[in-house]
Amino acid sequence: MSFDRSVKIAPSILSADFANFGKECEAIEAQGADWVHVDVMDGHFVPNITFGPATCAAIRPHIKGVMDVHLMIAPVDPFIDAFAQAGADVITAHVEAGPHIHRTVQAIKATGVKAGVALNPGTPAQAVEYLLDMVDLICVMTVNPGFGGQKFIHSQVDKIRQLRAMIGDRPIHIEIDGGVDPTTAPLVARAGADVLVAGSAVFRGGSVIDPSSYGANIRAIREAAQGTYV
């Protein structure tokens, strides 16, 4: 995984057909996805349950590129090795998920996997200030985590701007998760984001039988984001 700040579209399989994860991953990559975003929820840290490391391991062979695992679970630390062994390229933990996020980032890095930290909408940018020399990715939640299809929270754009300034020249991705579509993509790209997660805005109108809408949806988000660059 080399580092660059170009816009990357990361479809969230939370909006995919759960009975067809392997084929859905193949379809979104064939239709232009850069990363595959995998939302792990525990019904405790967030009010929804998805799946765990066994499912991640099962879909791994169906993903050629980056498998980006977003852990919405508490506790995190007892499960890091299992997600690393499942083949994650990036493991992101929430700063709100426990009292020892620094230790959690150390534990992710110790597995050799890239480490991300996620911030809920109510958490300030400063919460990651002392992690900047350790992390590979900061995920700014632009909805409260738990469900796809929620409305983008505009107050978070200022947080993205703050983080971009705090990061400086460090090779850290800024990822945006929640309510990203062709309308909101330019706002976050202009503020400094490079990885755009999108669930409902990618999967709408398509299926594994006819995934052409996935491609059109991915292109629309990418072009909207890139249109901000002059």
User: Would you state the structure tokens that stand for residue 140, as one six-digit string?
Assistant: 């700014």
181 is catalytic: no
| Region 7-26 residues binding ligand DX5, contact defined as CB under 6 A | 12, 14-15
Contact window for ligand DX5 (CB under 6 A) among 19-27, 49-57, 59-67, 140-148: 140-148
- Which of 70, 94, 173, 222: binder of ligand DX5 (CB under 6 A)? 70
User: Would you state the structure tokens that stand for residue 197, as one six-digit string?
Assistant: 């997660």
Angle, CA of 36, 55 and 42, to the nearest 5°? 90
User: Would you state the structure tokens that stand for residue 175, as one six-digit string?
Assistant: 């990822």
Note whether 198 binds ligand DX5 by CB under 6 A: yes
Question: Of the two residues 138 and 168, which places its CB atom closer to Zn ion in the complex?
Answer: 138
User: What whole-number distance in Å separates Cα of residue 184 and Cα of residue 203?
Assistant: 17
Examine residue 75 and say whether the peptide bond preceding it is cis (omega within 30 degrees of 0). Answer: yes
User: What whole-number distance in Å separates Cα of residue 171 and Cα of residue 178?
Assistant: 23
Least distance between ligand DX5 and beta carbon 82 (Å): 19
User: What whole-number distance in Å separates Cα of residue 222 and Cα of residue 230?
Assistant: 15
Q: Positive or negative CA dihedral for 106, 107, 113, 114? A: negative
Note whether 201 binds ligand DX5 by CB under 6 A: yes
Least distance between Zn ion and beta carbon 168 (Å): 26
Among residues 21, 5, 80, 7, the alpha carbon closest in space to that of 208 is found at 21
Contacted entry of ligand DX5, Zn ion, none for residue 179, CB cut-off 5 to 8 Å set by kind: ligand DX5
39 is catalytic: yes
Note whether 145 binds ligand DX5 by CB under 6 A: yes
From residue 160 to residue 179, the character string flagging contacts with ligand DX5 as x (rule: CB under 6 A) and all else as - is -----------------xxx
Catalytic residue from among 34, 68, 177, 194: 177
| Region 66-95 residues binding Zn ion, contact defined as CB under 5 A | 70
Q: How does 82-97 read in b/e, with b if 16+ C-beta sit within 10 Å?
A: ebbebbbbbbbbbbbb
Contacted entry of Zn ion, ligand DX5, none for residue 148, CB cut-off 5 to 8 Å set by kind: ligand DX5
User: What whole-number distance in Å separates Cα of residue 169 and Cα of residue 19?
Assistant: 42
Would you name the residues annotated as active-site residues? 39, 177
Residues that bind ligand DX5 (CB under 6 A): 12, 14-15, 37, 39, 70, 143, 145-146, 148-150, 177-180, 197-201
